[in-house]
Amino acid sequence: MNKILGITGLLAFVWLATWVFSDLLSDHQWSFLTAYNQENLLKRIALFAIISIGVAFVIITGGIDLSIGSVICLVGVGFPWLLMEKGWPLGLALPTVLLVAASIGLIHGLLITKLKLQPFVVTLCGLLIYRGISRGFTGDQTQGFQNSFKGLKLLATGKIPVTTEFGIPMPVVFMVIVAAAAAFFLNRTVYGRHLKALGNNEEAAKFSGINTDRMIISAYVICSSLAGLGGLLFVLDVNSAQPVDFGNFYELYAIAAAVLGGCSLRGGEGTILGVIIGTAVMRVLNNSINLIDWISKNIEFAVIGVVILVGVIVDELAKRMMARRRAELDKKKASVVSSRESGR
Amino acid sequence: MGSEQESVPLLIEVKGLGKSFPGVRALDCVDLKLNKGEVLAVIGENGAGKSTLMKILAGVQPPDQGEIRIDGKTLQAVSVEAALDQGVVLIHQELNLASNLSVGANVFLGREPGQWGVINSKKIRVESRKFLDMIGLDVDPDTLVGDMPIGRQQMVEIAKALSVNARVLIMDEPTSSLSLAETENLFKVIKDLRKRGVSIIYISHRLGEVKELADRVTVLRDGENAGELAKGEIDHDAMVKLMVGREVAQLYERSRHEIGEVALSVEGLRTAAHPAHKLSFEVRAGEIVGVAGLVGAGRTEMMETLFGVSEPLAGEIRVHGGEALELKSPRDAIEAGMALVPEDRKSQGLILDMNVRENMSLASLDRDKKIAGILNKKAEARISQTMIEQMRIKTPNDEQVVRFLSGGNQQKVVVGKWLAMEPKVLLLDEPTRGIDIGAKQEIYALMEDLAKKGVAILFVSSEMEEVLGVADRVLVMHEGGISGELSRGELCEEAVMQLATGVV
């Protein structure tokens, strides 16, 4: 719970700082706290949160998935390619791309559990393979919907109006559904408990009769499937995708958000709410770099890297301080007890 | 000041040592004296503060209060370097060696001879040979530590300690994973070191060893000094009395229990670890069968194969005369009504960072789940509450993270997890390893109780007293096979030892 408070504080700080520097202290028109920008920010948070929740499952098992960005690309270019170039009907193309994404997770999971390959290696190869395949079958050509599928695109671009200027973007609805389902799975079902247990100690989980292989495979399937859903929404949002860089680095954004949100790469730890707030911090940062004039866009990665590092350091220091304070309190209690006893 | 003090110079004197951890007062005003060239045994139940005291002496942790004098001089700062400077070396229960490096490299780890960062391998070989010879360890310094049996690895640790001119060796449960022969060798080395004037602080739960080795015994109880025994006073009962603070009537309360039909039948079982041997035996309902043998005799491998951890190569396993089981994973064994309390509590039995309730329910969650896999929190709470009461687990509440429980209470959590499944066949692998006498007694009472209720119990133990005291019948294993079976009437230490060492 402390972790969530801390990361929420960080979010508030970054958000306020962006507002101050981009709007209050700048001489041009407000650009951050506008209905248009906040709506867009919310949409990007939701899109990235969906893939971050996916990778959180894998991280909780103590694994990692580096292939997310390439899966997003495969789905992001594959979906319009099937519809526009190959002329597949929507009813066939949509389930196909989602099935492909899920199968990728299944293959990862099988290789990791049955062949005992390391998650890092398996998904690193995946990162290279799916990117290569995407560029291959599209001939490296940009894929898009042009002016077709207007209704479908509303899934990503539509919004539920709140005021005349501001509405809740549709991806937020998807995110809420995904997050609610994920949180329920993790906290309220036997499977979520099994997942956390094996993330902490796989051997003990196995000795307790948990089918650890099946749980790990499920985590990778969930991760790749959510990456697939993410890819679909990303491409519907921007209308077209270039195979060479669509979804580039997204796996790192997702992993960073999960870690910032309290997932331990050692496994067994993490909350969905934390992951969402972690994603929000990343997106607001990205937004602020775009809006604040005196931060060069070229140093975006450096800024994000530094903020995450500082966040993790502060978290670690806070943890130590708490432990020390507790120890001192105990010592005081103990000395009170012993002085009372010696006084008797 | 008598003449005694002059004849045996005082090496270490500890006065009024105190140390607290979150939630526990680990040490309270503890005193300790160590003379030159003596073996001092420090004993006490788990949680008595032995390990904390040793860690402070070795400089791993600073004390909150008190002082440590070495050679009459007060030690100013407590650090590992300062302790090493004074020649105080701690040999951990879990050895601290780099298994991927050679023996010589380990002996000189952190102090490699050489220039400009280039290691002088020849010098390492020659120098380490000297220290290996000192303890009679006949091994090539180029051997990889990971390729050596655990007993010899421990000798490397001792050689390493000697190479830094250790005057005081602190050994924490050094024999807990050694075979009989390795233990004997260790004792020889310890006695030899004593002759050379090295002082040894020896921590052990095995009172037989203490009796054989110690010149003096210091007993700790609940973080305080409970008493001291001089050479002539050291005997089993005296030590136990000081440790528990009361007379122990009887460690094993045997009662008659009805022995019923065959509950577990094993025929021609071949394990992956020892494929050459076929194992066949039966355990009846209400029977407690012990499995004795030396370390490496294949006992744990047999238990794990019975529980489906590793697949059997051949053979038939049946529970209560049912179909021969196809064991592909522990789940299959659990379904058949078996349960295993594994050898290594921390790595195989518990999720250390989860709380008591979550650990207790881990095996039964799946059985008790509601529709769509939803957790049955009521059943979970009921199980953990029942088990905490029934097994008298000392914990503030069921939300306590098990990492912070004592060994005995941790073991009770593991046992409780399986009792919740109401097993027909209970497999226990070293169920009392590293837990204190009070908890041991409770585990034995529990085994008796379960047997009375008709559970068939098969337990592996390396403690002879335990095997002799608890078992109705004993299987003895030797190098992967069952070398003999002893009924209650035939049970005695010599008979077990003969079968275990393959003398017969």
Residues A276-323 have pLDDT tens digits of 999 999 999 999 999 988 888 899 889 888 888 887 888 788 778 877
Please report which confidence band the pLDDT of residue B5 belongs to, taking 50, 70 and 90 as the band edges: very low
Cα–Cα separations (whole angstroms), residue A208 to A187, A236, B364, B378, B431: 19, 45, 9, 20, 16
Tokens representing B252? 């094993």
- Minimum CA–CA partner of B329 in chain A: A209
Q: Which two tokens stand for residue B500?
A: 């275990």
Q: Which residues of B touch A201 (CB under 8 A)?
A: 347, 350-352
pLDDT reported for residue B7: 55
Here the ipTM equals 0.84
Across A41-63, average pLDDT: 97
- Map out the domains of chain A with their CATH numbers: 2-334 (1.10.3470)
Contact B362 A327 (CB under 8 A): no
Quick check: B501 pLDDT over 60?
A: yes
> Is B329's pLDDT higher than 60?
yes
Q: Phi-psi category of B399—alpha, beta or left, where left has phi over 0 and alpha has psi -120 to 50?
A: alpha
pLDDT over threshold 80, residue B45: no
Using CB atoms, which residue from A190, A207, A326 is nearest to B342?
A207
- Which residue do the tokens 């924490």 mark? B172
Chain B residue closest to A338 (CA)? Answer: B28
What's the mean pLDDT in A167-183? 97
Q: Does pLDDT of B4 surpass 50? A: no
What does the alpha-carbon distance between residue A272 and residue A276 come to, in Å, rounded to a whole number? Answer: 6
Task: Give the model's pLDDT for residue B153.
Answer: 87
Can you spell out the DSSP letters for B137-164?
Answer: ----TTSBGGGS-HHHHHHHHHHHHHHT
For the segment A25-44, what is each residue's pLDDT rounded down to a tens digit?
A: 888 888 999 999 999 999 99
Contacts of B331 in chain A (CB under 8 A): 209-211
Name, of A16-30, A185-199, B16-30, the range with top average pLDDT: A185-199
CATH 3.40.50.300, applies to B1-87+168-174+199-245: yes
Tell me, letter by letter, the H, E, C secondary structure of B332-371: HHHHCCEEEECCCHHHHHCCCCCEHHHHHCCCCHHHHCCH
Cβ <8 Å between A194 and B352: no
Distance between CA B323 and CA B304 in Å, rounded?
Answer: 20
Q: What percent of chain A has pLDDT over 70?
A: 94
- Which pLDDT band holds residue A99 (cuts at 50, 70, 90)? very high
Q: Please give the Cα distance from B415 to B419 (Å, whole number).
A: 6
Helix/strand/coil (H, E, C) string of B110-127?
CCCCEECCEECHHHHHHH
Side-by-side strand order, sheet with B216-221: B88-91, B168-172, B199-203, B39-43, B216-221, B224-230
CB nearest B353 (choices: A206, A210, A268):
A268
Give the DSSP per-residue string, B182-220.
HHHHHHHHHHHHHHTT-EEEEE-S-HHHHHHH-SEEEEE
What pairs with residue B482 in β-bridges?
B477
Partners of B219 in beta bridges? B43, B227
Q: Higher model confidence: residue B92 or residue B332?
A: B332
Q: Closest chain A residue to B418 measured between Cα atoms?
A: A208
Model pLDDT, residue B504: 53
For residue range B374-421, list pLDDT tens digits in order: 999 999 999 999 999 998 898 888 999 998 888 889 999 999 999 999
Q: Determine the residue type at B125.
A: R
- At B433 the pLDDT is 82
Give DSSP secondary structure letters for B412-452.
HHHHHHHHTT--SEEEEESTTTT--HHHHHHHHHHHHHHHH
Cβ neighbours around B365 below 10 Å, total = 25
Q: How much is the pLDDT for B308?
A: 95
Q: Which CATH architecture has domain B252-337+423-504?
A: 3-Layer(aba) Sandwich (3.40)
Q: Is the pLDDT of residue A128 over 90?
A: yes
Return the minimum-mean-pLDDT range out of B184-198, B236-250, B282-296: B236-250
pLDDT score of A334:
53
Percent of chain A, pLDDT > 90? 76
Chain A's closest residue to B19, CA to CA, is A331
Distance, CA of A102 to CA of B165 (rounded, Å):
62
Spell out the domain ranges in chain B: 1-87+168-174+199-245, 252-337+423-504, 350-421
Tell me which residue in A193, A200, A206 faces B330 most closely, judged by beta carbons. Answer: A206
Question: In this predicted model, which residue has the larger pLDDT, B363 or B20?
Answer: B363
Q: Which residues pair with B477 in a beta bridge?
A: B293, B482
Dihedral angle sign, alpha carbons of residues B140, B141, B146, B149:
positive
| CATH topology agreement for domains B1-87+168-174+199-245 and B252-337+423-504 | yes
Among A179-183, B15-19, B25-29, the minimum mean pLDDT is found in B25-29
Q: Mean pLDDT throughout B309-335?
A: 94
What would the pLDDT profile of A321-334 be if each residue is shown by its tens digit?
877 776 676 556 55
User: What average pLDDT does chain A have?
Assistant: 91
Is residue B6 scored above 50 in pLDDT? no
Shortest Cα–Cα distance, A61 to chain B (Å): 13
Higher pLDDT, A78 or B490: A78
Contact between A22 and A288 (Cβ < 8 Å): yes
**What whole-number distance in Å separates Cα of residue B333 and Cα of residue B306?**
7
Instruction: Phi first, then psi: give them for residue B302, nearest 5 degrees.
Output: -65, -45
Least confident stretch, A210-224, B250-264, B451-465: B250-264
**pLDDT on residue A341:** 45
What does the mean pLDDT of chain B come to? 87
The 10s digit of each residue's pLDDT in B67-79 is 899 888 888 777 8
Which of B20, B307, B374 has the CB atom closest to A330's CB atom? B20
Q: B-chain residues within 8 Å CB-CB of A331?
A: 20, 64
With CB atoms and an 8 Å threshold, state whether B21 touches A327.
yes
- Helix H or strand E segment including A36: helix A35-60
Closest to A71 in 3D by CA, of A126, A149, A143, A25: A126
